Amino acid sequence: MDIRKVSEYFSVSGQLSVDDLQALKDSGIRTLICNRPDGEAAGQLAHADIEKPARELGFVVHYLPVVNDTINANDVHAFARMLDESPAPVHAWCRSGQRATTLWCLMQIGKGGDSAMVVNAANATGTDFSTVPVKFAGVIREITGAFAKLPLGQFCPLLIVGGGSAGISLAASLLRRDPTLRISIIEPSDTHYYQPAFTLVGGGEYELADTRRNTSALIPGGVQWIKAAVTNFLPEQAQVVLDNGTRLAYEQLVVCAGLKLNWDAVPGLRETLGKNGVTSNYVPELAPYTWQLVRNLRRGLAVFTQPPMPIKCAGAPQKAMYLSADHWLRQGLLGHVNVHFYNAGAVLFGVKDFVPALQSYVERYKAQLHMGHNLVKVDGPRRIATFAHTQADGTQQLNEVTFDLLHVCPPQCAPDFIRNSPLADRAGWVEVDPATLRHKRYPNVWGLGDVTSTPNAKTAAAVRMQVPVLAENLLAELHNLPLSAIYEGYGACPLTVERGKIVLAEFGYGGKLQPTLPIWLIDGRKATWFAWLLKKYLMPWLYWHLMLRGWEPLARPAKGDQENAG
Ligand code: FAD
């Protein structure tokens, strides 16, 4: 079977056999679509013969038979619905994989995708799809027309998608600079969380209730809150489509919709979260459960996992381990409780200056490190976690580990509606210039926070430094001035290595150290009590009272020549 990846979450192949199913399952595929009509060739396996064993293996299975030359708008709509409503990754097949790829191309272009980019992605499968936009122009017109027929709600001169840390801070920052701006934020959630405190909640050092506020209380006065979710971007028409079917037009668009916690990428995980000793500080409601499990565990195996990068707060999986181990050490339980850290990556932390301090805590807690181990399956009732271990020669071996406590940091990726949009880069993130934060292909689109392609540590600390850069550059653009503010990749990760001490890792692009305070006050390469005070008491206050209100101390953007930046 020749599996060809068209996008991160969609692959195609020629005719499948029943024997291929296990390999697809092992590679993480969750949905199968058959685009080949039954009886097309002598001896061809009927769809029903493959559907049954596929369902038994847990796949979602669809049958959408098409003939290449007669693919129509209904086929494309049906295909789009299947992709939208089924768990990813999706694998589709026909005789050669060509029809499945054509449907994907038409769906992407119909949703407003740049045809050259879509065709390039399809061509990467080894067949030439360059004729698709011309050959199926009528179908594309019909599908695009379906979007164009949606009612146009209103014109929002400055539209922000996502009212999390980045969206609210930006709106406040812009208004401080120019109170006459007309700003709208599209945000579906009533509740806003201060996520950096989740680790402290999981360590019994913070109340979950204190991490929560009503969104309505945080949206700056004068900003319009559109309580909805965006489903599509039409950047060529400067419009977005909402989940209620309305289109909104804009002059400038800022996308800051965060990232997706991809629980479904690990079979068995979602079902067992919050029971059977399986927890995650990445879910607010489960952070108190982490602390409950830690307090109740008096002997056994505690397993902490870290998925492949990028994730938000790259240190959070370790923080959970250190705070838990610190508790067991103080209770005299270490040794009865054995701590294991399974990391899909090859190093303890991506910036080497901080590793010695962290390593000393790994030794203090006698934690066993397992590098190159990626969590691929969880059997909650039997308390077994399965890891794919990448060997030195690149091959993978599956290791089963029994656990008494399992703290999971989930795999993370761009949200589906971003990943499938024309704004995305090949990896699915909003493709912005790393210095100016302006979109690389659409000059009136900008990106901020976890959702962007910038190679910084995805943290609220990064957002704090990005916001003034974007605010200044966006205002410069509105006044036809050159963009001069530069984001140098600052991000910070306060690693809670024990109760009362933190290794405060602050760094920019390329791992360059970027300490905020003088080194005599805080040396980020060492565990300090002062950094703990900052994290537990000062930073939450700064977040609620300064950052979300547009005050920006110690965040003045660097200036430079944007022609040569990024
Ligand atoms: P978010 O704050 O997640 O906001 C995204 C918003 O977009 C959400 O409100 C969401 O509802 C909205 N949205 C989603 N889909 C749509 C849609 N279709 N249409 C419109 N809106 C949509 N950072 C630190 O600096 N220090 C730390 O110590 C730290 N620790 C962390 C520990 C944990 C366990 C976690 C989970 C995070 C941690 N972070 C930390 C990371 C930090 O919280 C994030 O990097 C930060 O919140 C990113 O801000 P954002 O606005 O990009 O995304």
pLDDT at 117: 83
Structure confidence at residue 84 as a pLDDT band (50, 70, 90): confident
Q: Residue 267 contacts by C-beta under 8 Å, 6 or more apart in sequence?
A: 30, 58, 376, 377, 378
Section 526-544 average pLDDT: 97
Q: Does the pLDDT value for residue 25 go beyond 90?
A: yes
Tell me, using a 6 A CB cutoff, whether residue 108 lines ligand 1.
no
| Residues in CB range of 5: below 8 A, 6 or more apart | 11, 124, 125
Confidence of residue 565 (pLDDT cuts 50, 70, 90): very low
CA dist 344 and 46 (Å) reads: 39
Q: State whether the beta carbon of 187 lies less than 6 angstroms from ligand 1.
A: yes
The residue that leads in pLDDT, 24 or 139, is: 24
Q: Determine the Cα–Cα distance for residues 264 and 257; give it in Å rounded to an integer.
A: 20
Mean pLDDT for 165-189 is 96
Q: Is the pLDDT of residue 71 over 90?
A: yes
Give residue 394's pLDDT.
83
Q: Grade residue 447 by pLDDT with cuts at 50, 70 and 90.
A: very high
Q: Tell whether the model's pLDDT for residue 111 goes beyond 90.
A: no
Q: For position 278, what pLDDT does the model report? A: 98
List the catalytic residues.
313, 493
Can you give the pLDDT at residue 562? 57
Answer whether 280 contacts ligand 1 (Cβ < 6 A).
no
State residue 98's pLDDT score. 95
Distance 450 CA to ligand 1 centre (A): 7
Whether ligand 1 lies within 6 angstroms of the CB of 257 is answered as yes
| Atom from ligand 1 closest to the CA of residue 229 | 19
pLDDT confidence of residue 63: 96
161 lines ligand 1 (CB under 6 A): yes
> Which residues are registered as beta bridge partners of 438?
446
Ligand 1 centroid, distance to 404 Cα (angstroms) = 30
Contact 494, 318 (CB under 8 A): no
Q: Give the residue-averaged pLDDT of 30-59.
A: 94
C-beta 327 within 6 A of ligand 1: no
Residue 224, C-beta contacts closer than 8 angstroms, at least 6 positions apart: 156, 182, 183, 184, 185
Is the C-beta atom of 458 inside 6 A of ligand 1?
Answer: yes
- How far apart are the CA of 165 and the centre of ligand 1, in A? 6
| pLDDT interval class at 563 (50, 70, 90) | very low
Identify which of 169, 173, 187, 195 to mutate to test ligand 1's pocket (most ligand atoms within 8 A of the CB).
Answer: 195
Predicted local confidence at residue 231, as pLDDT: 93
Q: Is 166 in the pocket of ligand 1 (CB under 6 A)?
A: yes
For the segment 53-80, the average pLDDT, to the nearest whole number, is 93
Q: Are 174 and 471 in contact, with CB atoms under 8 Å apart?
A: yes
Q: What is the pLDDT of residues 223-257, one digit of tens each?
A: 999 999 999 999 888 899 999 889 899 999 999 99
Give the range among 105-114, 212-221, 399-408 with minimum mean pLDDT. Answer: 105-114
Query: Is the Cβ atom of 495 under 6 angstroms away from ligand 1?
Result: no
The residue nearest atom 11 of ligand 1, judged by CA position, is 189
* Atom 2 of ligand 1, nearest CA residue: 164
Identify the band that residue 551 occupies on the pLDDT scale cut at 50, 70 and 90.
Answer: very high
Provide the pLDDT for residue 564: 43
pLDDT band at 451 (very low <50, low <70, confident <90, very high): very high
Q: 159, 161, 165: which to mutate for ligand 1, most atoms within 8 A of CB?
A: 165
Bridge-based pairing state of the strands 90-93 and 191-193: unpaired
Better-predicted residue by pLDDT, 281 or 155: 281
What mean pLDDT value characterizes the chain?
94
Phi/psi for 463 (5° steps) reads -60, -40
**In a mutational test of the pocket of ligand 1, which residue from 227, 313, 408, 412 has the highest number of ligand atoms less than 8 Å from its CB?**
313
pLDDT in tens, 286-312: 999 999 999 999 999 999 999 999 999
Query: Which position has the higher pLDDT, 507 or 110?
Result: 507
Q: Give the pLDDT confidence of 124-148 residue by residue, as tens digits.
A: 999 999 888 888 888 887 887 776 6
Say if residue 2's pLDDT is above 90: no
Tell me: pLDDT of 209 over 60.
Answer: yes
Of 56-60, 359-363, 557-561, the one with minimum mean pLDDT is 557-561
pLDDT value at residue 559: 95
Position 83 confidence tier, pLDDT thresholds 50, 70, 90: confident
Question: For the residues 27-32, what does the mean pLDDT come to?
Answer: 94
CA of 437 relative to ligand 1 center, distance in Å: 17
Give the pLDDT of residue 546.
Answer: 98
**Shortest CA distance to 79 belongs to which of 24, 90, 69?**
90
Minimal-distance CA residue to ligand 1 atom 17: 229
φ/ψ (deg, to 5) at 235:
-65, -25
Q: How far apart are CA 206 and CA 128, in angstroms?
A: 56
What's the pLDDT band for 561 if we cut at 50, 70, 90? Answer: low
**Whether pLDDT at 526 is above 50:** yes
More confident residue, 74 or 151: 74
In this structure, the residue with its CA closest to atom 46 of ligand 1 is 460
Quote the ligand 1 centre to 373 CA distance (angstroms): 26
* Two tokens, residue 529: 């009590």
Cα–Cα distance between 104 and 110 in angstroms, integer? Answer: 10
